Structures are given as structure tokens and as C-alpha cells.
Amino acid sequence: DVKVTQSSRYLVKRTGEKVFLECVQDMDHENMFWYRQDPGLGLRLIYFSYDVKMKEKGDIPEGYSVSREKKERFSLILESASTNQTSMYLCASSAILDMNTEAFFGQGTRLTVV
């Protein structure tokens, strides 16, 4: 089975802290994604990466950065956490277009910034 693993299910951080959310996939997928999920807003794309060291901004990149040093790992970084970044964060991975194209998701990290 495809597995996408997020390092934490629940996190509580203080305003101004630097926060790292880690995601690892075991399917050798080229593409990886970070979304945040908020009630009534659905899933909004923060960043995605289509290769090691490559990244593209999604729809809401402000306040976030990402790192992809290895193919299997994609990290989301909150440089200085704020209360409006309290949310559910979902990581996903997918293969390139000429293979299975659906995205596989991790279990999510519920982040609370206090």
C-alpha cells in the first residue's frame, strides 16, 4: 500500500515559533503537495514540488516555506507561527501524469497556534 506519513497528528505551538511539519512518502512519487483544510474553505494548496529542490507556490503561500532535499520527504515550514495558521495540514504525493495520477494523502496534522 502507498503510504504518506506525517510526523505529527497534533501540534500546539506558540505565536512566533518556527514550526516544521514533516511528510514522507514511500512510493517514489515525483510530486508532493501541502494543503491546509479549513471549514467552509475546503483544501487550499500552499506549495507543491515536482522534483527534488523544486517548488512552486500554490494559492496561499504567504507565511510558509517548503523544503525538498530528498525525493521522499517534503517539509512545510512556518517561519513565525501566527494564530491564523491554526488549521489542519494535509500532505499528499502523486506520480507524474503518465502513471497513476491520483494523489495519496497523509493522515493530517492538526496545528494549534496559541
Residues that bind other proteins (CB under 8 A): 4, 30-31, 33, 35, 40-45, 48, 50, 56, 58, 90, 92, 94, 96-97, 101-108
Cα distance between the two ends of the chain: 36
Q: Nearer to other proteins by C-beta: 17 or 54?
A: 54
109-113 and 10-13: which strand pairing? parallel
Nearest Cα to 46, choosing from 25, 30, 67? 67
Q: How far is the CB of 80 from other proteins (least distance, A)?
A: 26
**C-beta separation of 6 from 23 below 8 A:** yes
Cα gap 16→7, rounded to integer Å: 21
Between 64 and 106, whose beta carbon lies closer to other proteins? Answer: 106
The nearest distance, CB 62 to other proteins, in angstroms, is: 17
Instruction: State the minimum distance, in angstroms, from the CB of residue 112 to other proteins.
Output: 14
Q: Which is nearer to other proteins, 3 or 18 (CB)?
A: 3
CB of 31 to other proteins, least distance (A): 7
Select from 24, 21, 38, 37 the least CA-distant residue to 78.
21
